[in-house]
Amino acid sequence: MSREAVKSARRWVVKIGSALLTDDGRGLNHAGIESWVAQMVALRERGIELVLVSSGAVAEGMTRLGWKTRPTALHELQAAAAVGQAGLVQAYESQFRRYGLHTAQVLLGHDDISARDRYLNARGALQTLLRLGVVPIINENDTVVTDEIRFGDNDTLGALVASLIDADLLVILTDQEGLFERDPRVDPSARLIQHGQAGDPELEQMAGGSGGALGRGGMITKIRAAKIAARSGADTVIASGRQPDVLNRLALGEELGTFLYAAQQPWAARKQWLGGLMQAAGRLTLDDGAVRVLRGAGRSLLPVGVTAVSGRFRRGDLVLCVDSAGREIARGLINYSAEDTARIIGHSSSQIQSLLGYLGEEELIHRDNLVLC
């Protein structure tokens, strides 16, 4: 399955991690960049459209500034990103120019995904760049982003970009050979997982904890990224960027790394956008009946099925829907403020007007503005 799916994919998002790009913190890996660019050029010659999501700005900035450990202060991280981004893009630009290809730097922040108009603008810009034959090089806008509104890691950003441009395949190049049943750095006998379904909860259990000192992600973020990418129908490959000619070997059908296939039908465009929103303003706790209705019947969420409200949100904000154990069931755009929601939960929709003095909507979250997790 993986071999044919990868061979038939015509639009790829390739994400390269910090450890690879900075040679584990020893400075920008120019030899690696030269190799990966040559491979991407060969893919383009096969008729494959490419978008590159590149980590490494903060790590490269740290190297240039002589910092040995990743700073924790926000402004120091932003400064490192500003210093490193210039060198990172310059390295890519010089390599792609050798092949007569133009590149475009695209820095995205959470607001570019969460605001519907900016989301559509970003989608349109990327689609246009691909049509013009330009290679977009995307990174999170670390120079101005804050911890409260960051994507969290470039694995997640890569998955959101895959949804944004309707990619067929997300390729995550890392310093590991793929997903193992146990951490191979601790247990060398651990078995490589070659195939799996994106979104399988057992994979998250296998994935373990965080990554190294330079990056923000680990294998767990890659598993979750595959789940996000699957919502738009994109498969995911997690493979070692240190494997010789890894991208071309994948395109030829060689089974490298871990292939996670998208088993579900692609979500509608609006629900892909909803599923990509990362920052929730509040939380609703649902009773067992509401959980069954959402999962089984695909209906809207009514006030009667909600037992508790937390957070400070306004009409139109994103809220999470969790079961009694705190597990996320769904997320969506709420029709009422937190204060009004608290007044109507547990009651039937017919009582909303008498409780609030007005009737906005019968539903707390309409099914068109709701996605299951």
pLDDT digits (tens, 9 = 90+) for 89-116: 999 999 999 999 999 999 888 777 777 7
Contact between residue 17 and residue 241 where contact means Cβ atoms under 8 Å apart: yes
CA distances to 108, 217, 289 from 58, rounded to whole Å, are 15, 14, 47
CA distances to 123, 169, 265 from 145, rounded to whole Å, are 20, 27, 33
Establish how many alpha carbons lie within 13 A of residue 147's alpha carbon, considering only the half-sphere containing its beta carbon.
Answer: 7
pLDDT at 152: 55
Give how far the C-alpha of residue 74 lies from the chain's centroid of Cα atoms, to the nearest Å. 22
298: exposed, middle or buried (C-beta count within 10 Å: 0-12, 13-18, 19+)?
exposed
pLDDT at 70: 82
Compute the Cα dihedral for 348, 353, 354, 355 and give only its sign.
positive
**Three-state DSSP class for residue 163:** helix
Which among 149, 153, 75, 143 is positioned nearest to 112, based on CA atoms?
Answer: 149
List the beta bridge partners of residue 320.
283, 331
Separation CA 110–CA 122 (nearest Å): 12
- Residue-range domain boundaries for the chain: 2-272, 280-372
Separation CA 302–CA 316 (nearest Å): 16
Name which CATH class applies to 2-272: alpha beta
Of residues 228 and 211, the one with the higher pLDDT is: 228
The model's pLDDT over 314-349, given as tens digits with 9 standing for 90+, comes to 988 889 999 999 999 999 889 999 999 999 999 999
State pTM to two decimals: 0.77
Separation CA 197–CA 329 (nearest Å): 19
In CATH, the number for domain 280-372 is 2.30.130.10
Report the percentage of the chain scoring pLDDT > 70. Answer: 91
Q: Which residues contact 142 (CB under 8 A, 6 or more apart)?
A: 57, 58, 77, 78, 81, 85, 150
Separation CA 18–CA 210 (nearest Å): 14
Q: Which residues of 307-316 are buried (b: 16+ CB within 10 A; e: fewer)?
A: eebeeebeee
pLDDT surpasses 80 at 158 = yes
pLDDT surpasses 70 at 143 = no
H or E, element range at 105: strand 103-108
